[in-house]
Amino acid sequence: MFHKTLTMAAVVALAAVPAVAQTFRAENRVDVTPALNNVFQISSGGDYGARGMWCAASD
């Protein structure tokens, strides 16, 4: 019984931890990289320029 309770507590604790953000590739193949405090960074718009950067940000 103790083992089952301990396992359930571990599952609940891990579920409460936010996932680590990873680089996301938008539909136009522009990379969106997470930064601190819910901020993200787009390094370049590829062949699309500023329009590609805004589209990647909206994805």
Tokens of 48: 């699309």
Q: Is the pLDDT of residue 44 over 60?
A: yes
- The DSSP-derived string for the chain is -HHHHHHHHHHHHHHHSPPPP--EE-TTS-EEEE-STT-EEE---GGGTHHHHHHHHH-
**Residue that has been written with the tokens 């940000």 in this structure:** 57
pLDDT at 12 over 60: no
**pTM to 2 decimals?**
0.55
Residue 59 confidence class, pLDDT cut points 50, 70, 90: confident
Distance CA 33, CA 44 (A): 11
**Number of residues written out for the chain:** 59
